[in-house]
Amino acid sequence: MTDQTAAIAALVRSVAPDANLDHLRALPYFVDRKAGAEAISWTLYPVSWRSLPRWRLPWRQVNGRACCPTVALFAEAVRRMEAERPTRGAHGFKRDRAPAAVAAE
């Protein structure tokens, strides 16, 4: 396991201890937006490659493609995951009954 893979694995395990990390060994040191979005979607949560330019990352233009370090990409993904508050979906809450239905009973 390389230093990069160990650093990414430690970041991912901090927020998702049971994540499958077998595919991290195949990641290069720099990834473009599509490969980075695919790696994050496979490991942590779904993300589109079109949203990655808004993330604060050190992008470099290499052969016409925007690339960034893989460790920095995962660090930003973990930071964004920890920054969001956990919320409950709409199915977790019970709706209040309408006053008309309560009055009719």
CB atoms within 10 A of CB 39: 21
Between CA 30 and CA 48 the distance in angstroms is 18
Q: Is the pTM value of this prediction over 0.95? A: no
1 pLDDT tier (thresholds 50, 70, 90): low
Residue 96 counted as domain residue = no
Q: State the residue range of the domain holding 62.
A: 3-85
Residue 68 counted as domain residue = yes
CB atoms within 10 A of CB 80: 14
Between CA 60 and CA 31 the distance in angstroms is 10
Residue 9 counted as domain residue = yes
Please tell me the total count of domains within the chain.
Answer: 1
- Residue whose token pair is 């991912």: 12
Residue 101 counted as domain residue = no
Mean of all residue pLDDT scores within the chain? 81
